[in-house]
Amino acid sequence: MPRATLAVAMSSTADIHSRDDWPSGRVLVVSATYNEHENVAALIDSVLAVSPELQLLIVDDDSPDGTGRLALNLAEEQPRLHVLVRRGRRGLGTAILEGFELGRQHGFEVAVNMDADFSHDPDDIPRLLAALEPVGGRAADVVVGSRRVPGGQTVGWPLSRHVASRLVGWFTRWVLWVPIRDASSGFRAVRLAIFDRVSGPFAQGYAFQEDLLWRVHRAGGRLAEVPITFTDRQRGSSKADFAESRRSIGELLRLARQTWLG
Ligand SMILES: Nc1nc2c(ncn2[C@@H]2O[C@H](COP(=O)(O)OP(=O)(O)OP(=O)(O)O)[C@@H](O)[C@H]2O)c(=O)[nH]1
Ligand SMILES: [Mg+2]
């Protein structure tokens, strides 16, 4: 299966970028979208209302429901909003990675990655950022918004989702040796300088989340978790289908082979 590197196909000429004149900033929130028309405008408002210091990048894969077009229109009026519409569905992992890479190119120090469906509460962003700061002398490189540390929880999931998520969590912790309880959480704060030490090829789909933690940990980076409440999406539909699950399992097994056999 083809995999992405950090220098992921940056500007295939068909991709659309909103304005190139980004204000300077330290923290860029990156949210990947695919058919999130019902959520994206509210997400943009909520994230940008958290702090005037935050900027937001939407990375859309040319959603058939017009999410990207809507975000591009909103970006015309909002200098803290940036939009990349990629031509064709290229996967969640490559979308996040391309968002991080754009953040680096524009001089941001930290990226916050979150889903666009309000499962992640924008009001938790300041707590994630605070946890990047040094504790006992050493700063964290990645802070994971975690459902599996005291105070964290998941609201609204059926039993099947709990079981699947716990299995992946267990596998990442005890087979891949990543010391994190909620490795599949897509709500994180990431110090972008970590990519000076960590490179791909990264998993292209949902397994990017576990893959990034695995690489950061192996490179000696510091991981931390803070509790969050994850709420099942209220609007729009899931993109985590059977094909994506199968692809993720393949990617995780590849990481297991590398962990144990080198
Ligand atoms: N750009 C891009 N974004 C994607 C892709 N697949 C999923 N996303 C986005 O990634 C985020 C996570 O996807 P979800 O469908 O919410 O996955 P999930 O949280 O496991 O499933 P739900 O239970 O439905 O919320 C959402 O913001 C999606 O719109 C993709 O191929 N490309
Ligand atoms: Mg979701």
> Which amino acid does the sequence have at 116?
A
Q: Kindly report, residue by residue over 129-161, the tens digit of the pLDDT.
A: 999 998 777 899 999 999 999 999 999 999 999
Q: What one-character-per-residue DSSP string does 24-39 give?
A: P-SEEEEEEESS-HHH
- Which band of pLDDT confidence, cut at 50, 70 and 90, is reported for residue 249? very high
118 alpha carbon – ligand 2 mean position (Å)? 8
Collapsing DSSP states into helix, strand and coil, what is residue 22?
A: coil
pLDDT number for residue 9: 44
Nearest Cα residue to atom 21 of ligand 1:
238
List of residues 6+ apart from 145 with CB closer than 8 A: 120, 124, 128, 152, 182, 185, 187, 188, 225, 226, 227, 228, 230
pLDDT > 70 in the chain, percent: 95
Ligand 1 binding pocket (C-beta < 6 A) is 32-34, 36, 59-61, 89, 91-92, 95, 115-117, 119, 232-233, 238-240
Q: Kindly report, residue by residue over 104-136, the tens digit of the pLDDT.
A: 999 999 999 999 999 999 999 999 999 999 877
pLDDT number for residue 172: 98
pTM: 0.94
**Is 241 a residue whose pLDDT tops 90?**
no
Q: Kindly report, residue by residue over 10-22, the tens digit of the pLDDT.
A: 445 589 999 889 9
Domains recognised in the chain with CATH numbers: 16-261 (3.90.550.10)
pLDDT number for residue 144: 98
127 alpha carbon – ligand 1 mean position (Å)? 23
pLDDT number for residue 57: 98
Structure tokens at 231: 């709420």
Q: Who surrounds ion ligand 2 at CB < 5 A?
A: 115, 117, 119, 233
pLDDT number for residue 135: 76
